[in-house]
Amino acid sequence: MTLQTVLLLAAALFSIGLYGAISQQVVVMVMMGLELMINGLILAAAGFWWFLFPHPSGQVLLMVIIAAMTVEMAIGFAVATLLHRDHEADMTDMAGDLSE
Amino acid sequence: MPEAATSSLTLVPVGWVVLAGAIVLGLAWFAATVDGVATARAEASPTGLGRPLREVARLMRQRRRATVEADTPLWRIGSGGLVVIATLMVIVVPLGPWTVFDSPVGVVWFNAMDVCVWALVWLTGWGPNSAHGLVGGYRFLAHGLGYELPLMFALVAPPIAAHSLRVGDVAAAQHGLWFVVWMPIAFLVYLIGVLGFSVWGPFSAAVGSDIAGGVAAELSGLDRLLFLTGRYALLAAGAAFAVPMFLGGGAGPLLPGWLWVIVKTIVVLTALVLARRRLPVLRPDLFMEVGWLVLLPAALVQVLVVSVIAVWRG
Amino acid sequence: MFVDVVFWVMTVVAVVMGAAVFVVDSMARATYALALSFVAVGVQVLLLHQDYVGVIVILMMVMEMAVMAVYMVMFMGMNPALMPMSMVHDKRKALAAASVVFLTLAAGALLIPWPTRRGQPSSDTTRALGEALMGSKMLVMTVVSPVMVATIVAGIVIASKRSRYDRLGDDLRGAADHSADPQRGGVGR
């Protein structure tokens, strides 16, 4: 276990998540892709912390990432529910009015 | 306040986890016997002592039921995983002076494991591709949304008073005065949470007879045996964890510490098992409001009181 | 040795399960594949000596994926467990973009001369984290906490169809006719 291997794994997770976030049509699957990207971020941050600068403030950064993920998911779910209720939309392409 | 990162407990080798599993299964057997005796008494039949044995023998010989388009891997993970999770919960509980897993965040570990029950129960309902099972799974998640947050905050109170998330430190911090005495609300909310993640008593709507057994509707044979054992094992793990958190760990006169832990666990476990006959089943949609408007504020006030006392004592 | 074995097993689990999310044909399998990927990363964070963060990642993500599965079933618009679900657009471009990003990041990870480690971890990283959050990094705590509360409130306001005004009337004194309330609360309002 070295910094390089940890970062490689984090990069792999981030890229798989990116693929999903770009290619998936269903809102929930896009959110899964975003989650996977954040998964990679968490691992990379943890790796940097341990191998480069194991100071408590680094862990605080990890808590911020996790908190950001929570907010993203909660509001994402809420908006998805609202979209679904208002016009039966479950795909990103159907939610055109969000971009206007 | 610098403190040693290690506690006073003796860490035993990982192999002893087998003993932890055996104790969980033994306690699960005990819980099943208690329930069997209580059921026999309610039905005025002779005795219920042999009920668990008969049920095990019956289920071991029963053929597995198959359903159309079942998601077999997920189904097996769901029904078989409960016993594993119960064992993973119990390894952070110190048995007197010994512990298998002396995690510095043991309390959070227990919490993480009890959240895994959400996934497993839902998967057990999802796996067989049966409507009743899925309805049961949803009912459990709805109950979970109600009991989980109060449970989390109830678990927060003892570590605040003990200045540590390590289970051994929490137990050691109660010398003289058990936490149950001055945090009764947290203890009560914790017990409600244990009933919740064990799908037991008031929280058994997920396996209710009105939906043909719900999550357990399609389970048969070995899978059913594992699922039912898992419920008793979760009750046992919840009772065992209450001992270092609220009941002073191994503290007590005459008997050695490890025996006190087991005695206290059995007392709590018996109370939890018998609660099934005293309390009505709670409807998930109604309990949601109780959880968020009554239990959660109560647990928060308890945490506030404990925090103030902890700061005052320094 | 033991740490390395666990690390590599968890690496394989994390990547394979992460990829499985977008390969498998079942909503439940996709969701719980992601959950397993997160659990694997949580274990690796534990290996990196951040006990609290690692366990919290496992706790949060299993819980979140249990809820996510419900949303999947609700929003995917398909009922059977194992119905094929390939709902993608621009698959080639997405693959190309993901590959380029991965190669760039991997090159960075391998080629950048990372500095050597500065400082030593404290003996109790959990306590150090708590003291940082409640001491020098208090600002983070004071910002994150209201944001979390705001998220709870905002999420419910956006998502809920019937608010308390629908249930209890404009003056919140309780509707006159409880029989019209399809979802009675549990505390007798």
pLDDT at B1: 31
Taking CB atoms and an 8 Å cut-off, how many pairs form between chains A and C? 226
Q: Determine the pLDDT at residue B300.
A: 93
**Mutate which: C5, C25, C46, C102, vs A, most A CBs within 10 A:** C102
Residue matched to tokens 């035993």: B12
What is residue C79's predicted lDDT score, i.e. its pLDDT? 47
Domain count, chain B: 1
List all residues 6 or more positions away from B199 whose beta carbon is below 8 Å from its beta carbon.
Answer: B121, B140, B206, B207, B215, B231, B234
Whether B111 has its CB under 8 Å from any CB of chain C: the answer is yes
**Where would I find the beta strands (DSSP E) of chain B?**
10-11, 98-99
* Model confidence band, residue B99 (pLDDT cutoffs 50, 70, 90): confident
Domain boundaries, chain A: 3-88
Residues of chain C with pLDDT under 50: 79-82
Six-digit token string for B193: 């949470």
pLDDT of residue C189: 66
Q: Is residue B5 in some structural domain?
A: no
- B166 to chain C: closest CA residue: C126
Query: Chain A contacts of C106, Cβ < 8 Å?
Result: 8, 11
Q: Which residues of A touch C2 (CB under 8 A)?
A: none
Q: What are phi and psi of A26, to 5 degrees?
A: -85, 135
- How confident is the model over B36-46, as a mean pLDDT? 81
pLDDT at position B3: 41
CB distance C184–B104 less than 8 Å? no
Among candidate residues B129, B132, B96, B130, the one with its CA nearest the CA of residue B249: B96
Give the per-residue pLDDT at B268. 92
Rounded to whole angstroms, the Cα distance separating B230 from B214 reads 16
CATH code, A3-88: 1.10.287.3510
Answer yes or no: do A67 and C144 touch at CB < 8 A.
yes
* C31: chain B residues, CB-CB within 8 Å: none
Which chains would you list as touching B if contact means 3+ CB atom pairs under 8 Å?
C
Continuous H helices in B11-105: 17-43, 51-61, 72-90
- Would B70 be classed as within a structural domain? yes
A46 touches chain C (CB under 8 A): yes
Closest to B99 (Cα-Cα) out of B258, B234, B260: B258
CB–CB contact C59 B112 (8 Å): yes
Q: Which residues of A touch C72 (CB under 8 A)?
A: 28
Q: Is B287 on the interface with C (CB under 8 A)?
A: yes
Contacts 24+ apart (CB under 8 A), C131-140: C131/A56, C132/A56, C132/A57, C132/A59, C132/A60, C133/A60, C133/A63, C136/A57, C137/A56, C137/A57, C137/A60, C140/A60, C140/A63, C140/A64
pLDDT of residue C80: 42
Q: What are the phi and psi torsion angles at C88 (to 5°)?
A: -130, 155
pLDDT value for B173: 84
* The pLDDT value given to residue C85: 57
Tokens, residue B100: 């298998």
Confidence of residue A50 (pLDDT cuts 50, 70, 90): confident
Q: Do chains A and B touch (3 or more CB pairs under 8 A)?
A: no
CA atoms of B5 and C124, how far apart (whole Å): 5
> What local confidence, expressed as pLDDT, does residue B112 receive?
92
Q: Shortest CA distance to A47 belongs to which of A77, A9, A96?
A: A9
State the average pLDDT for chain A.
Answer: 82
Please give the full DSSP string across chain A, using - where no structure is assigned: --HHHHHHHHHHHHHHHHHHHHHB-BHHHHHHHHHHHHHHHHHHHHHHHHHH---HHHHHHHHHHHHHHHHHHHHHHHHHHHHHHHH---BGGG-GGGG-
Asked if the C-beta of A71 comes within 8 angstroms of chain C's C-beta atoms, the answer is yes
Residues of C in contact with B3 (CB under 8 A): 124, 127
In this predicted structure, the answer to whether residue A88 has a pLDDT above a threshold of 90 is no
Tell me, what's the pLDDT at B240?
92
What mean pLDDT is predicted for residues A11-38? 87
Indicate if the pLDDT at residue B193 is higher than 60: yes
The pLDDT of residue B4 is 42
Residue of A nearest to C142 (CA): A64
Work out the average pLDDT over B299-312.
Answer: 91
Q: Mean pLDDT of all residues in chain B? A: 86
Q: Which residue of chain B comes nearest to C30, CA vs CA?
A: B74
Q: What band does B251 get if pLDDT is binned at 50, 70 and 90? A: confident
pLDDT at C82: 45
Range B89-110 average pLDDT: 86
Using a CB–CB cutoff of 8 Å, tell me whether A86 touches chain C.
no
Residue A90: predicted pLDDT: 59
Say how many Å lie between the first and final Cα of chain B, rounded.
10
Q: Which residue has the higher pLDDT, B25 or C187?
A: B25
Tens digits of residue pLDDT in B101-135? 888 888 999 999 999 999 999 999 888 888 888 88
pLDDT of B286 over the 70 cut: yes
Q: Is residue B2 part of a domain?
A: no
Selected residue with higher pLDDT from B99 and B154: B154
Those residues of chain C whose CB sits closer than 8 Å to some CB in chain B are 26, 28-29, 32, 35, 51-52, 55-56, 58-59, 62-63, 65-67, 69-70, 80-82, 123-127, 183-187, 189
Which of B195, B216, B198 lies closest to B207, judged by CA? Answer: B216
Q: Within an 8 Å CB–CB cutoff, is residue B119 touching chain C? A: yes
